[in-house]
Structure 1
């Protein structure tokens, strides 16, 4: 029989496993419902064991944000800045839709080494393509905030039968809002993924005007 693990002893977990379990728990209970005790129970360890991987809940949330942002980064940033940003935007949206529980915290500044490495890689690609450093930062921040806002809207707007939902819109006055109702009935402009792709491509087209290399 193996000896019982003592309080605070490592449990054969990895930091990534701890963070992934925290993301799942936040999806189920929200960030307010995410506790070290609950996370420990999910992983089958005592809460004290988790402090080998994250010193406190703030660091835990920073790590959860890190998992999403680093997963959205290309494995090896290349010279094609449009491909880099396009892939990043679509991967980040997909990660946020998989784990909407983290959305209230994703505007936190990048603080972990892995998250900062991802930012550095993006800046390296953009500056290498002729964007001044300040503009490169503006590009990354603009695109990131757009993705966060779009994902939040997809998760929270039009859910169920409340205001903004197709059912609610279908009850509008047809004489006053004929074009809105036509869009509702035909589906024109209502596909979230298509709208997201359109906006990303429009942003990339606009960003290109600010590169000094044409």
Structure 2
């Protein structure tokens, strides 16, 4: 039987991203995704063979969104485009926070992802970095970005009932015991995620480039 007209792997994955953004990862199932697309769940298996493939595909799709422009030009010094790598990845993950738990736990080993990795490694070696150091830099920047963004997003969709954040503890904190934390809550010192992320990435890249 031919696939339903207009249905493709990309459309299935984009619909799954929309669903996870709205309802959270725990709510995702092939049946619910099929209903979201207006098709029978069995139609989806022509494009993603099983639930694990769907979850892996979600991570791949976010990476494709993140690095579509970056992969077009990897010439010249590696530090500027590795900085762009970090900021593009963070932006894509913040746009789809429901995928963060997957990005943190599932390897990105699809053919497209492997091709991107090969391009990055080749460009970094062309810029003079040894292979092992190049892979270390990619892994460190990606791991830091995912972890930082997961902390920044806080409650991902579908996990809204998790523990309260620092602000919600404010009334319970004794000023004599927690003066610094209360000052943080009042002044927002150290809570600027954009500044923290930018500075940390620059420090990591400066360390690796020396």
Structures share fold, TM-score greater than 0.5: yes
When the two structures are superposed, what TM-score results if normalisation uses the length of structure 2? Answer: 0.86
Aligned length: 202
d(CA) in 2 for partners of 1:59 and 1:67?
A: 12
| In the alignment, structure 1 residue 178 sits paired with structure 2 residue 156 | no
Segments of 5+ residues of structure 2 without an aligned counterpart are none
Equivalent residues in 2 for 1:182-201, closer than 5 Å: 182-201=183-202
Segments of 5+ residues of structure 1 without an aligned counterpart are 1-6, 210-214
Following superposition, the deviation at residue 170 of structure 1 comes to 6.0
d(CA) in 2 for partners of 1:172 and 1:138?
A: 41
Equivalent residues in 2 for 1:91-106, closer than 5 Å: 91-106=88-103
Match of 1:121 among 115, 119, 122: 119
When the two structures are superposed, what TM-score results if normalisation uses the length of structure 1? Answer: 0.84
Q: Deviations over 1:124-145 (max 9, x none)?
A: 2222222211111111111111
User: Where is the helix percentage greater, Structure 1 or Structure 2?
Assistant: 2
d(CA) in 2 for partners of 1:145 and 1:75?
A: 19
Contact 1:170 1:184 in 2 (8 A): no
Q: What root-mean-square deviation, in Å, do the aligned CA atoms of Structure 1 and Structure 2 show?
A: 2.2
Following superposition, the deviation at residue 85 of structure 1 comes to 1.4
Query: 2:57 corresponds to which residue?
Result: 63
Q: Return the structure number with greater relative CO, CA threshold 8 A, min gap 6.
A: 2
d(CA) in 2 for partners of 1:33 and 1:124?
A: 40
Equivalent residues in 2 for 1:1-214, closer than 5 Å: 9-73=3-67, 74-76=70-72, 77-106=74-103, 107-156=105-154, 163-169=164-170, 171-209=172-210
- Choose 1 or 2 for highest CA Rg: 1
